[in-house]
A and B are shown apart, each in its own frame.
Chain A
Amino acid sequence: MQQIINFIIRNKSFLLFLLLFGLSILFTIQSHSYHKSKFINSANILTGGFYNSINEIDQYFNLKTQNKLLTEENKTLRSRIRSYGIKTDSVVTESKTFGKPYRFFTANIIKNSYSLNTNVLTINKGENDGIKQDFGVISSKGIVGIIDKTSANYATVISILNTTSKISAQLKQSNHFGTLTWNGKNPYITQLIDIPKIAPIKVGDTITTSGRSSIFPKDVNVGVVKNFKLDQAENYYEINVRLFNDMTSIEHVYIIENVDKDEIINLTNSY
C-alpha cells in the first residue's frame, strides 16, 4: 500500500498528464461522432453571448452584400408568386395543399467556420424560439447544415463542410439519389457519392436535396456538378459538387422544422 502511494506521489505529474490528456481525447472522439459531444460546444451563454455581442458590430461591415443577397431572393420569390398566380388562376386549391408540413424560422449566423475539418456554426436562435436538434438550416441560395446542440438562446449547426455530415441529395433531373459528404479540402466543393452508374449525369447538372430524410424538404438547392468519376468498385459515381452557397460569407439563414417528423420516425421505426 505504502509503495502504491509512493508510486502515485513520485509520478503525480505523469499521471495527471495522462488523466487530462485522456479527458481531452475523450472529448475529441465524442465530437467526431455525430450528435455525441455533450459539454464542449459553443451554444452556451458564455460563448454564445460573446459571439452574439461581437456579431452586433460585425454585421455592419457586410451590410451591403447581405442586402444584395436578400433583394435577389426577394426577386426570385416575387417572380415565383407571379407564375404561381397565373397557373392556379381558375383552380380551386384544396386547403390541404397549403399546410405543407414545414415551418420556417429565421436566424443569424453569429459564428462562421470553414477552415477546419469539422466545421460547426453558431446561430442566435435556441430552444426559447422552438429550435430543436435535427432541424435543417438553409440560406437563400442553398443548403447550410443541420442543427446539433441547442441552449436557451443559441444553437450550433453542423455545417455541410464537416467531414461527419451526411445529407441525402439527388440529381434534379433524374431523381437518382446519393449522400452528400465533404472531404475537408475545399470550402466551395462538396462530394456526392453513391449515385448509381446508370444515372445520366453531365457537368453543370443541378443537385438538390432528395426529401428522403425527414430533415430537409425536397428540391432545396445544393449545387451544380463540377466533375465526376466512377469509384474504385466502378459501380457508383463520385461527383464533385460546386455549392451555390458561398459558405465563407453567410449571415441570414432559415431553419426548417418538419412538423410531421415524429410521425415519420415512429412509422419507420415500427418495422
Chain B
Amino acid sequence: MNSILTIHTVRFILLVIIQVLILNHINFLGDINPYTYILFIGLYPVKNNRIALMFLAFLLGITIDLFMDTGGIHAAACVFIAYLRPTILKFSFGMIYEHQSIRFDSVDFGSRLTYFALLTILHHIILFSLEIFNFSNIFIILKKTLFSSIFTILLGLILTIIFSRKPK
C-alpha cells in the first residue's frame, strides 16, 4: 500500500515538473503544446474510489494553473475527466472493467488507445473552450483540440510504453 502511495506521489510531481519545464515550451507551429500530465488521471488505480480521484484531479489541475496563470481551466478539465473516468473505462475496456481486474500494462493496445484518446479529447475540449471562452471562435477551439490531442495521445502512449513495468 505504501509503495503505491509513493509511486503516485512521485508520478504526480514528475508529471507536473515535466509539463511546466518542458512541454509548455514546445509551442509547435506557434501554439500547440501537449498536456501529458493527465496521464496521472489515466493511470490512477481503477479500484480506488471516485471521490479521492476527483480531489486529486482538482489538485493536479490547480497546480498546473498556478504555474501557468490560467485561472482554473486545467482544474475544470481535470475534474471533468476524473468524474467521467468510470464511464470511459467501461466503454473502452468492457467486461474486464466489470471484473475490476485491469492492469494497464497488460490490456491490449487497441482498448488502451481508445481509453487514452477519449480522456485526452474530452480534457482538451473543456480546456480550450474555457481558455478561449468565446463560442464565435469555435473553429480555433476545435483546431487546437485536434492538434494538441494528437500530440498528447502520442506522447502519453510512448511514455506508458517506455515506463511499463512488465515488458512482454
Residues of A within 8 A of B (CB): 12-14, 16-17, 20-21, 23-32, 37, 40-42, 44, 46-47, 50-51, 54, 111, 113-118, 120, 122, 156, 184, 186-187
Chain A contacts of B140 at CB under 8 A?
184
Closest chain B CB from A201 CB (angstroms): 28
B65-A13 in contact (CB<8A): no
- Provide the B78-91 mask, 1 if CB < 8 A to any CB of A, else 0: 01100100000000
Chain A contacts of B72 at CB under 8 A?
23-28, 31, 40
What is the interface of chain B mostly: helix, strand, loop, or mixed? helix
Chain A contacts of B73 at CB under 8 A?
24, 28
Query: How many A-B pairs with Cβ below 8 Å?
Result: 108
Closest chain B CB from A209 CB (angstroms): 24
Q: Give which listed residue, B61, B66, B131, contacts A44 with CB less than 8 A.
A: B66
Closest to A25 in B: B76
Closest chain B CB from A101 CB (angstroms): 30
A42-B68 in contact (CB<8A): yes
A20-B30 in contact (CB<8A): no
Closest chain A CB from B68 CB (angstroms): 7
A31-B71 in contact (CB<8A): yes
Q: How far is the CA of A16 from the CA of B51 in the complex (A)?
A: 7
A116-B70 in contact (CB<8A): yes
A21-B79 in contact (CB<8A): yes
Chain A contacts of B35 at CB under 8 A?
none
Is B43's beta carbon under 8 Å from chain A? Answer: no
Is B121's beta carbon under 8 Å from chain A? Answer: no
Chain A contacts of B80 at CB under 8 A?
17, 21
